[in-house]
């Protein structure tokens, strides 16, 4: 079985890129429900999707470039690998091969298992259980390219070689640590996390659900200094999207006589005449 490498990475079959994905510089993320992309809406420069309460969802990350990338993915401000809230560069990351797309179904809870993302309310969210609900309703992905090193030429002359500065060793492949990997005590802020601000509990958030098999392995990945792209998608339940003016309010009109006549039927399929004595 192929494994997902961590800085972190999962080696999966490449998937076609979708035109409905939220994209920056070609890199993209999509929210999937039942394996299909959820419609994304753009409002005041932000991307929104409609949360469907109780439904599981996944996040598909796509790399359309000829180079490997490492992606820090956070849901509700919690890293999808270790549930920490850090700066993007210090965060644990998923590594994608050239032209690869991977689907992240939930938070990675061990080297072999993950637990599903699903839409819920703040009081039932994973962020509330962790104790930090400041960033609920947001899915964020930050993409980093792999750092390239100049090719070191070989010196044939011994005297020239002795005068030349020693070349730095090439980064090792396979298992190892990355500059972008979060240390066990990594933290985006010092001190304690402030308690969540009390608010009405009907807003969308993400819960941590059923367990599934998702094997990963750590790999070495030397990040470029600056990210190549950063993408955010907000999710809200329909009433909030209506209040924001993103979706129209539904108005159910009473049926007209013409509607009634248009739906007239001479017979119904199956059934019998009602018996008043029973």
d(CA 181, CA 72): 10
How many CB atoms are closer than 10 A to CB 177? 13
Residue 123: DSSP 8-state: G
165 in a domain, yes or no?
no
Q: Is residue 123 part of a domain?
A: yes
Does 192 fall in a domain?
Answer: no
Q: Note the pLDDT tens digit of each residue in 227-270.
A: 999 999 999 999 999 999 999 887 555 666 776 676 666 665 56
| Residue-wise pLDDT tens digits, 157-211 | 555 545 544 433 333 333 333 443 333 333 333 334 444 444 556 899 999 999 9
pLDDT at 268: 56
Instruction: Collect all residues with Cβ–Cβ distance below 8 Å to 160 and sequence separation of at least 6.
Output: none
Q: Does this model's pTM top 0.85?
A: no
> What are the backbone dihedrals phi and psi of residue 249, each rounded to the nearest 5 degrees, phi first?
-75, 140
Is residue 24 situated within a structural domain? yes
Give the C-alpha separation, 72 to 230, whole Å: 9
Residues 60-96: tens digit of each pLDDT:
999 999 999 999 999 999 999 999 999 999 999 999 9
Domain span at residue 216 reads 4-148+175-180+200-249
Residue 239: inside a domain, yes or no?
yes
| Residue 84 domain flag | yes
In a domain, 271, yes or no: no
What are the φ/ψ torsions at residue 195 (nearest 5 degrees)? -65, 150
| Residue 243: partners with Cβ closer than 8 Å, 6 or more residues away | none
Within a domain: 190: no
pLDDT digits (tens, 9 = 90+) for 6-41: 554 443 333 333 334 566 678 999 999 999 999 999
Domains contained in the chain, number:
1
């Amino acid at each position: 079985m192929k494994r997902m490498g961590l800085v972190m990475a999962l080696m999966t079959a490449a998937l076609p890129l979708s035109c409905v994905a939220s994209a920056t510089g070609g890199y993209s993320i999509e929210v999937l429900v039942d394996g299909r992309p959820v419609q994304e809406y753009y409002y005041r420069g932000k991307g929104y999707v409609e949360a469907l309460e109780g439904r599981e969802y996944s996040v598909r990350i796509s790399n359309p470039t000829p180079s490997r990338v490492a992606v820090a993915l956070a849901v509700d401000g919690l890293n999808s690998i270790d549930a920490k809230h850090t700066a993007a560069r210090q965060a644990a990351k998923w590594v994608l091969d050239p032209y690869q797309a991977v689907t992240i179904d939930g938070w990675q809870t061990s080297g072999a298992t993950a637990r599903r993302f699903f839409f819920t309310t703040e009081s039932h969210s994973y962020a509330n259980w962790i104790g930090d609900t400041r960033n609920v309703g947001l899915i964020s992905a930050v993409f980093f390219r792999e750092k390239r090193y100049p090719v070191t030429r070989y010196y044939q002359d011994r005297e020239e070689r002795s005068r030349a500065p020693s070349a730095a060793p090439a980064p090792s492949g396979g298992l190892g640590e990355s500059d972008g990997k979060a240390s066990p005590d990594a933290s985006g802020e010092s001190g304690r996390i402030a308690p969540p601000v009390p608010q009405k509990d009907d807003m969308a958030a993400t819960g941590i659900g059923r367990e599934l098999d998702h094997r990963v392995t750590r790999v070495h990945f030397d990040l470029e200094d600056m990210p190549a792209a950063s993408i955010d998608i907000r999710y809200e339940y329909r009433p909030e999207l209506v209040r924001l003016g993103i979706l129209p309010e539904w108005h159910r009109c009473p049926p007209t006589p013409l509607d009634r006549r248009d739906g007239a039927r001479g017979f119904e399929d199956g059934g019998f005449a009602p018996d008043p004595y029973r």
